[in-house]
Structures are given as structure tokens and as C-alpha cells.
A and B are shown apart, each in its own frame.
Chain A
Amino acid sequence: MLRKTISYFCLLACLSLCTGCFDILEEINLNQDGSGTMLVTLNMSKSKTKLASIMLLDSINGYKVPSKDDMNEAMKDVVAHLQKTEGITNIKKTKDFDNYIFTIACDFTKVENINDIFKELIRKQNKNGGTQFTTKNFSFNSGTKTFQRDFTYDPSIKKSFARMNKEDQEIFDETNYTCIYRFDESVKSVSNKNAKISPNKKAVMLRIDAMSFISGEKTVQNKIQLTQ
């Protein structure tokens, strides 16, 4: 009882003092034949003090706090799902509980394989939540040399955010989503005005803050035209 009291006394103080934010990185290296590698990184390092506090609690703001074992299990599930997806190979995962950085990488034989990873999940969400998210998020036309990142904004994102309590909403204040796509060929043009082409013309980076994404002001939708 005493141990719990001390923990709560100090942890609640920490929780109210430390701010929270995180970054998501989506990186794709695309080969000429449409195959490539994908790396997704969740970096919560900036919030590690707060997360270390949260991890000592059973629940926060009515949500159950997952234990390290829970997170390990979740990552195992993701890997198992990837292993079952056609065209996905060489799956690697890393987890750093000191800095709260988690990555999953895989090779794909064609970008459409990546769509297959999330297809079922998105279908279920669309069916249960009445949303209209596209199940085709990545495509590459080797004939026209066009790489496309699709995304259909659904107002339910904004509604879900509005339903969250203010403390939870503040988590997204300094959260960013970064997409980096690297190619063998040079990039001729990009459709998303927020995307940047690297000086050597072989990569495109799009960094958007979570609040703009939630409000629909900015999108990850992008059509990248490579030189033929």
C-alpha cells in the first residue's frame, strides 16, 4: 500500500509535468522493378520520461497501460501477420524500451504487397466504422514510372479526435508523420505541395504534423513521377 502511495504520489506529479509527443516514419526504398524495402519507425523517445511513468501505472485516463510483455506480444503478432502476407520477406523488428523506439522492416516483391498488409484491417474499419478509407495505399506503374501514395481523408478522423478528452488530444500537439521514398531513378515531379525532393533528385520527403493530418488540412496523398 505504501509502495503504491509513493509511486502514485510521484508518478502523478511526473505525468502532469512531462509533455508527450511521438514521431512516425514511413520509409520505402523502391527498386526499378517495383520491389523494395519498407521500414516503419515509431519513435516515442521525446516522451520517454512520461512513458516511463505511465508504464508503472495499471491504467491512465481510463485506458489500460500495456506492459512490456503486451508490447512484445503485439509486435510478434505484427510479424506473424507479415509472414502470412504474400510477397513480404526478410521481416526484421527492433525494440528499444529505454528510448521507446520500435521498428519493423521488410522486403516486398511489389508495392501492392504492402497494401495486402493493411487491406483486411481497413476493410474491417470501413465496415464497422462506416468509413471510406481506401485499401489501395501504394501503387507503382513501371510503364509510366509513377509511384503513388494514396489516402482518402475521412471526416471520422476529426470526429474521433473531437471525442477524445483534452489531455489525450494534447498528445498530438507535437506529433509528426514523415514519409520518405527513395528511388533508383530521378524524381521528375511530386503532386503534394508539402513534399520535398532531395537535392540529388533520388528521394522525396513529406513531413506533416498530426494536427494538420487530423483536420484534413494536409494529406500524405502523393503522386511521384520518375524520369522515364
Chain B
Amino acid sequence: MLASLFGRLNWDSIILVKEFEDPDLQLLITSGAAAAIPLGGIFLVLLLWYLKWWKPLLGWLTSVDHKKIGVMYIIFSVVMLFRGVVEAVLMRTNQAVALNGGFLSSDHFNQLFTTHGTNMIFFVAMPFLIGLINVAVPLQIGARDVAFPKLNSISLGLTGAGGFLITISLLIGQFSTGGWTNYPSYTGKLVNPGPGVDYWITAIGLSGIGSTLTGVNFAVTIYKMRTKGMKFMRMPLFTWTALATSILLIFAMPPLTAACVMLGLDRYLDFHFFTNDQGGNLMNFINLFWMFGHPEVYILILPAFGVMSELSSTFAAKRLYGYTSIVAATMCIAVLAFFVWLHHFFTMGQSTTVNAAFGIATLLISIPTGVKIFDWLATLWGGRIRLNTTPVIYLCGFLVLFVLGGFSGIILANPTLDYQVHNSLFLVAHFHNVIIPGTLFGILAGIHYWFPKMFGFRLMESYGKVTAWLWSIGFVITFMPLYPLGLMGMTRRTVDYTDPAYVPLMLVSGAGSLLLGLAFLFLIITFWRSIVNRKQLVTPIGDPWDGRTLEWWTPCPVPEYNFAVLPEVDSRDAFHTAKERGDAYAPIEKYEDIKIPSNTYFGLIIGILGCGLGFGLVWYMWWMAAGSFLAALATIIVYAFLPEREQVIPAEEVRRVDENWRREARETYGVTRDDEITEANKGLARPDVVPG
């Protein structure tokens, strides 16, 4: 009876119980983290109860407003980033003292690098970027919402379900130890029968479906929802990169989902897709995984390129140099992304011709990427660069460090050299070198840049700049030593080592990781201090950076319907053109009723049922898995038959809000860029007087 109710879940699966029965230091670290989940949960419930925030919270969770969904993605990612950073600091400090054995057990370390990778890619970097895309893209193309608002909420729900599964694995059972790539046959049923791999499969499977749907949603949004006059070649660069990423998501996520399902069939139903015996072949998993995995790299980097394009032009107060080149380069990269996956396993033993072909294909990607770097430099050339702003620090850190990451990438693209540095710390240094200064800097700079659009006030520049410097310096100190260590032969995923020659560089790297931990702390302090001082930081008129694209043509925070009247576009930097003409805030004659979709429980229900499905599968609680699956199916059918519910905002209400905003903009004096980071900045840009 109990077995059919709880499957293979028993009392001892809960980490805290293990620690209670058999205390030891190793487990203490894990169980400390595990204890944080129930304690944090209880704290959160009490806090919400005390602040009476239940109702507003539910309002957010059921919202289909793209800006709120974007904000929820970003908050989710910050929480997951906390775990990722703590894991990173644990691993690097362990390795700093790991000559002949550090303080972590091998099993713990193996779980750490697995959850760190899985978490950072799928539950930090991707939701961060999807969050930014959600916030900015509909505004940039002059739309009221995304094409499928409910689907957007479902995507968020499924991402949340994946995040729930990887988080609950800390408390109940354990996560996979197979690395974020989770190669069989190590992750097959024979070698790893425990629940860890099943957590990986369900978490990645569910969030992968969510990401595919996001790709569909934004591709359609960008194709179909652009405002009048917003031709493709007038779209802001961030929208272009979001389009490229959406296309990549649509084509790259299915192989991953397929690989997850196939590995699941191997494990649950004795199939032989990737087993050693019966004609199974583990290399098929590896091929499928990297058919997703390589485009994934560009899913992560292209939106960051988009952010950097916006920043370089805005903060140099200048048109983007080589718009057409950058668009062409972006789409080149998106296409080439699908032709290089094999470079992740040059060492499989295939023919040299295959290796050389994929090596050259990989080299080709560095051409459009190099062009982009030159284009950003040319954008800064001839501008008036505001060096005292946070986004510019991220931009410069990105330009210098990303180039170095590309450099090591070119080395790795050579199959003969990959034979040497594959699976070594050189590789670890390389991908952190592109993902941290590339993706993470892009994300953090993007959050800083669009923060007023989300919340109505700026982030404090003083803390922002310290944070940006800490991330940059912390990155350099942590990851640059890993290049020589990799060349010296040290492999990745090793809990300890016996070669004393590694010690000095390992110590440096460990110290650097503490700086990265501090950088995360300062990021939180930046948020906290800015929230406390939000009254001084408000930018109600909505254009704090002298922006050039449509999203700045709205008040801050942005009303639910985005634009009172959808703007018409006649040039690339439409808002900038309007400001130059002087009629950006001119009164509008005619307002109409605006229909916006009502809140729905659809996404929330699917998310919760996704948690049930995943948890049931992991622990063999078949009633829970089947029940959740059927209930999800029923929910989809029921919602398909429910009539669309819309909320109408009357024209008079829209007129009142919009006319107030326009009047305030006309009557306010505004600030030049000299006072941009002072309290005087209320979000109205005054034309600059250029000294002669």
C-alpha cells in the first residue's frame, strides 16, 4: 500500500533525516542547503501573510502581461543564480585546497558541478534572457502584448516546474552526478539507478518544452505584431537578436526534448537507445544533445549581443554603426549554429575529413562575430561616450573579455588541438569566458538599462558600478588561471588532484571565486538600496537614458496596454527622430478603447501539474505522475473551449493617463546627459549642447 503510494520515496530520501541519523561534516553542507528550502518556504509564507501580499502575488502569477511575466522570469533567475554562485564558490574553494583531497566528498562535488551547470544554463541564463526579451521586445516593436499571452504564461509555468524539480532535489534524494550534459551510459539505468538522473530528465524535459513554446511565441510576435511602419530593417537590434534566438529555440530545443524522452524510455521501460548492449549507442545521445547544445550557445549569446548593440548606440549617443552588417552577422551566426555541433566531440574517432569540415565551419562563425566586435567599436567611434554609467562598464568588460573568449574558442576549433585540451580546464575557462562576459554581462547590463521600464525607477549607479567592476575583476581572477591549468593537463570535473604544480593557480582561482560571490552580494545590495531610495530614482516620463527606440516612448512604469495609441514608425531610431523633430510628446486627438486579455490560471495550473508529473516520475509514484498528466491534458482541453475573456480599458481612461503623461513631459524641463545619473533625471531627455 505504502509502496504504491510513495513509490521508491522513503523517509531516508530526505537529506535532513540522514543528517539527523548520522551526522557528519560532508552532509552538513548539503543539509544546510537542504534546510534552506523548507525554512525559506516558511519564511516566505509568513512574510506574504504579514504583508498581506497573497492577493497581489496571485495577481502576478496569473498575469498574462508580458512585462510582468518578464519580471517573474528575472526574479526566478536571480534566485537560481544565488544557488549557482554558491555552488561555484564551494567548488573553486574546494579545489584551491584539494591537493590530495579537499573538504568536499567526491559524490557531493559531482552533484555540485552537475547542478551548477544545469542550473546556470537552463534556470539562470535562459530565463534571464527570456525575461529581458519579454520585457523589451513587444515594447520595441510597438505591440500591446505578445502574440499568445496565455502560452507565455504556460512557458513560465513549465520553466518554474523545472526549477522546482532541480531545487527540491537538494532536499529529497539527490541530483544527477553526470555533468550538465548527462552522457549515457553513465546515466543509464545499470550504472546510475538512483533518482538523480530522473530529476535531470524531468527538469530539463519540462523546461525544454516551455522554452520551445517561448520560441514559437516570440517568432510569431516579431513576424506579426510589429506596429505600422516597423519594417524588418527598422527593427531595433535587440529585437533582431530575439528573433534569431526564437528561431534557434524552435529548432534546437526539440532534439534535447527527444534525447530526454529517449533516455527516459531507456531508464523506465528498458528501451535500448543509448545502452551499451542490444545495439544501443551512447553517441546518438551525444549527437542529439549537441544538436541542441551548440545552437544553445547562440541562444544564450545573441540576445546579449542585442543588448550590447543597444547600449553602445545609446551610451555613445550615436547611431549604431553598420546596422545592416550586424543584422547579417546575427542571422549568419544563427544559421551556422546548426552546422558545428560535432566540434564538441572531435575525439569520437571519426574520420579526419569530418573533423576538418566541422572545424572549419566553427572557424567561419568567428567571421560574423569578429565583424560585430568591430561594428560596436565603430559605433563608439565618433560618439560621446558616458564612461560614468554602469552599462558602459559592462559593455567595455564585454568587449575586452569576450574577444579573449573567442580567441580560446578558435584554438578549440582546431581538431588537432582539441585532442589535447578537450575535457580539460582550458575548455572550462573558454565557455565561462564567453558565457560570463558575454551572456551574464549582457543580462546584467540589460537589467540595469531596462529596470526603469519594469519598475519605474532607476538602479543606483554607485552600487551598480561597483557590481560591474566586481563581476569583471572576479571573472578575470577566477577563470584566467584555468587556461594555463588546462594546458598543463588538468582535467575538468575533478574533486582533487595530486600534482603540486597546480596549487598556486588553483589558489588564485579560488580567491577570484570569492570576488564573484561578493559581486553577487553587491548585485543584491544594488537592488535593495535602489528599492529603499526609489523615491529619488523615479523616472516617470520614461526616457532616462535618452533612448532611441520605441520602448522609451512610454511612461515608467509602462501601463498595462503599453501604448495609448500604437506609434507609427518612419525610421530606424523612431523615437530619436521624433525627439529631434520636437513632437515626441505632442498631444494626440483620438483615443480608442483598448482590449487586453484577462488574467488566467492556465499557466499556473500547468506549472503545478508539471511539478507533480516530474516528481511522480522521479519517485515512481505512478498515481501522481499519471494523475498530473491527465489533469494537465484535461486543463488544456477545458481552456481550449472556454471563451476568450478580455478586459476593456475605456478610451476616456486611456486619454486621462496619456494626456497627463504628455503634459508632464512638455512642462518638465528635462536633463542633459550630464545630469543623467542624478536625482534630477525624471526620465525626460533634453537635447545636448555639444561643446564646440
A complexed with B: no
